[in-house]
Amino acid sequence: MPLNAVVLDQRTLQRGSEAQHAEWETGIRELLSEAICNIDGPATLFIELTERQFVLRFEEEGRNLATIPLDHELLAVQITEYLDIVRQITNADSLNQMEALDMAKKVTHDRAGRVLKRALRELGFDLGTSRRLFTLLLSLKVDTTRLPGIRGHRRTH
């Protein structure tokens, strides 16, 4: 269990609503449930959201393993595209349109995951872990509790 905790910065916690706190807790649980990386011991991820970047600090028993600043610009295209797709899903006229938009949402989520996987390559995050991290970072940057259709993807048969 290499990644065993995620801690958000106090400023972010103070500005968040009760619904956002619940959303963040869900994102953290999902991230930790299947996190795959090459950190040997139990590590804690500290996430600080600043005006210009996310600062990801990985620590093991108080020892800094890595500090990785991620400028908001790094994920700006994916965040904008993802949110646009989510908004379109809520206005979809047909099941076919909804399924196509959901597929576009998955593709954008994968792209964002690959961007994060590259940025965190020294820590060996796999794509699934990187995708779940994107979900958490997105919810920290944007109030996703106000967006219907943001959670999950439709199951296709």
Candidate from 4-18, 35-49, 129-143 with smallest mean pLDDT: 35-49
Would you state the structure tokens that stand for residue 124, as one six-digit string?
């060996």
Would you state the structure tokens that stand for residue 50, as one six-digit string?
């600043």
The residue type of 27 is G
Give residue-wise pLDDT tens across range 15-26.
Answer: 999 999 999 999
> How confident is the model at residue 150, as a pLDDT?
62
The residue assigned the tokens 């779940």 is 132
Q: Would 73 be classed as within a structural domain?
A: yes
Candidate from 39-43, 49-53, 99-103, 140-144 with smallest mean pLDDT: 39-43
- Judge contact between 151 and 109, C-beta under 8 A: no
> How confident is the model at residue 13, as a pLDDT?
96
The residue type of 3 is L
> How confident is the model at residue 10, as a pLDDT?
97
Q: Would 36 be classed as within a structural domain?
A: yes
Q: Would 157 be classed as within a structural domain?
A: no
> How confident is the model at residue 111, as a pLDDT?
97
- Judge contact between 129 and 33, C-beta under 8 A: no
Q: Would 156 be classed as within a structural domain?
A: no
Give residue-wise pLDDT tens across range 75-84.
Answer: 999 999 999 9
Domain hosting 54: range is 3-146
Q: Would 93 be classed as within a structural domain?
A: yes
Q: Is the pLDDT score of 136 beyond 50?
A: yes
How many domains does one find in the chain? 1
The tally of CA atoms less than 13 A away on the side-chain side of residue 14 is 5
Q: Would 139 be classed as within a structural domain?
A: yes
Average pLDDT over residues 41-59: 94
